[in-house]
Structures are given as C-alpha cells and as structure tokens.
Amino acid sequence: MNFWEYLGNRHQQLLADAYQHASAVFQCMVVATLLGVLIGVLTYRTEWAGNLAITSTATILTIPSLALIGLLVPVVGLGVAPTVIALTLYGLLPVVRNAVVGLRGVDPSLVEAARGIGMSRIKRLFRVELPLAWPPILTGIRVSTQMLMGIAAIAAFASGPGLGNQIFRGISSLGSKNALNEVVSGTLGIVILALLFDAAYVLIGRLTIPRGIRA
C-alpha cells in the first residue's frame, strides 16, 4: 500500500489523532502561559528571584521527556495525566524567561509617568507593563508551542493522546507493509500542526501588538 492509499484508508483515525494532539498542546500551553506569566510577574522585580525562576524552569527542560513521563506514570497513571503534566512543565521556560525579560525591559519612565497620574501598582502592571512586555511573551509562547508539538509525540509511550501513537505503532512494527506509512503520516501531521499554530500566533501578534512596538 502506497502512502496516499494509506492516508485515504486511515484519514479518519489520523484526523482524530491530529485533533487530540492539537488539543493537548493547546490546553497545556494555556496553562503554561498563565503559570509562566504569573511566575514572571511575581519575580521580575527582584534580580535573584527572576534568575531563580528561569534557572528552575530551565532545569526541568533538561530532563529527557521519555524519562519524565516514565517517572510520572507510577504517580498519576497512564493516559492523559502524565501527558498534561509533562507538557505543561516543559512549556514553562520560554514563557517565564521572556516574561521576566520583557517586564524588566519596560521603560522605567513610562512606569513613573503612570504612577504620576495616579495609577495603582495593579493598574500599571495591566495597562502599561504587560502590554509593553507582550511581544517577547508571545515569542516565548510560540517557542514553547513548537517544542511541545514534538514532545507531545512521546506521550504515546504512556498511552497518551495524539499523533505519537502513529509513530510508535510504526516503529514497533518495523518491517510490516505500513510501518513507514505510519511513521511518516504521524511525523508529517505534527509538522503541519506546528506550522498552523505558528501561523495563528503570527496573526495574533498582528492583531494584538501595536505597529509602533511590533518587532
């Protein structure tokens, strides 16, 4: 069976796996973004706290994904839980780092001007600092998403959702007539999803970043 015939026969399963893959990455990125920005907001004002936050999340990223999922399985079991926890942890570093760098890079004179017109600290954060730090934060989100697209494939090791199941199925049946088709279709699906997500982030950037501060 050639590749195109394989796609025609298995397109429903491939679409279901692609949806699960995209859904897992999207949901984990939402959580990682909220946590990452919160950590950045809580730590950027203090040099050691910000550096500790970046170093801690960077340390998580050094753990091999297969090892981390393997460590999580005895604790939370197989399936979605270890996938969500691992992807969320891996997605933190670029968001935390860019949030800290972006918030520290806001022009102090703008913050002082906001204080001078009576803005509270919370209002300054949400109306001045975070909007100006949004471009680097969005870049961090884009980087995290691209990483998680590939890492999510490893989740199939723990019976997780997504296109990794296609890849693992093909690897485990090397020599069979559809082994290569399964690996290629899973890999190609992940690449396409990564490109679609990145295009969406470009559009979000154009809609949310004023032209004057757009990189």
Count CB neighbours of 204 within 10 A: 13
pLDDT band for 119, please (50, 70, 90 cuts). Answer: confident
* Annotated domain spans of the chain: 3-213
Which of 135-155 are b and which e, b meaning 16 or more Cβ less than 10 Å from the residue's Cβ?
bbbbbbbbbbbbbbbebbbbb
- Those residues whose C-beta lies under 8 Å from the C-beta of residue 54, and which sit 6 or more positions away, are 93, 96, 97, 100
- Which CATH class for the 3-213 domain? mainly alpha
Can you tell me the distance from the alpha carbon of 212 to that of 172, in angstroms, rounded to the nearest whole number? 52
Can you tell me the distance from the alpha carbon of 184 to that of 3, in angstroms, rounded to the nearest whole number? 9
Can you tell me the distance from the alpha carbon of 205 to that of 183, in angstroms, rounded to the nearest whole number? 33
pLDDT band for 171, please (50, 70, 90 cuts). Answer: confident
User: Residue 159 above 80 pLDDT?
Assistant: no
Can you tell me the distance from the alpha carbon of 35 to that of 87, in angstroms, rounded to the nearest whole number? 13
pLDDT band for 209, please (50, 70, 90 cuts). Answer: confident
Can you tell me the distance from the alpha carbon of 145 to that of 160, in angstroms, rounded to the nearest whole number? 18
DSSP-derived letter for residue 176 is S
Tokens of 148: 């998680």
* More confident site: 86 or 76: 86
pLDDT, position 103: 95
The tens digit of pLDDT for each residue in 11-53 reads 898 999 999 999 999 999 999 999 999 999 999 999 999 999 9
* More confident site: 95 or 3: 95
Helix locations, 118-178, DSSP H: 121-124, 130-151, 164-172
Element holding 173 (H helix, E strand) = none
pLDDT band for 215, please (50, 70, 90 cuts). Answer: low
Can you tell me the distance from the alpha carbon of 40 to that of 33, in angstroms, rounded to the nearest whole number? 10
